[in-house]
Amino acid sequence: MADTLSALNCQVPEFSAAMTGDKEFHLSNYAGKNLVIYFYPKDNTPGCTTESIAFRDLYPQFESANTEIFGISRDSLRSHEGFKKKLDLPFELISDPDETLCLLFNVMKMKNMYGKQARGIERSTFVIDATGKLVKEWRGVKVAGHVDEVLEFVSAKT
């Protein structure tokens, strides 16, 4: 597996990871579908909750656009299961405690948190098309209106 993705319109290398529902994510299992993969800093925090609810509420429209959604953070599967249940999310969450996927997608950044420098996930969203190519990325995402923009992008691709 490559250390980081190199560029838009390049094939995403095969990867796998543990996810909620006692399942294992394998990129190759989703050939023929668009994937929205959103990285968020932490379960049960205000921005991450708002973003996840927005993806939940528009999930049927994403499905209509032949698109699956996956959320990724460094939280444990146990934390993810609770977050998913609490918000009634219809999609799976991927646990990345060792930052393998965070590094692949290059989302780890130094951030200011309460006046201190801390290393964390930069809220980012990626679209992988039905052929496995990275076709769109949003970095440093502001939650308001973001999910509508992602839906608009994937809907235009179908």
Amino acid at the residue 158: T
Give residue 116's pLDDT. Answer: 85
Give the whole-angstrom CA distance, residue 87 versus residue 55. 11
Summarised one tens digit per residue, pLDDT across range 144-156 is 999 999 999 999 9
Give residue 1's pLDDT. Answer: 40
Give the whole-angstrom CA distance, residue 52 versus residue 58. 10
Residues marked as catalytic: 48
Q: Are 110 and 118 in contact (CB under 8 A)?
A: yes
Give residue 2's pLDDT. Answer: 44
Give residue 157's pLDDT. Answer: 76
Give the whole-angstrom CA distance, residue 155 versus residue 82. 30
Side-chain-facing half-sphere of 40: CA atoms under 13 Å: 26
Amino acid at the residue 103: L
* pLDDT averaged over 10-residue windows placed end to end, the chain, 158 residues: 64 94 96 96 94 98 97 97 97 96 93 82 96 94 95 89
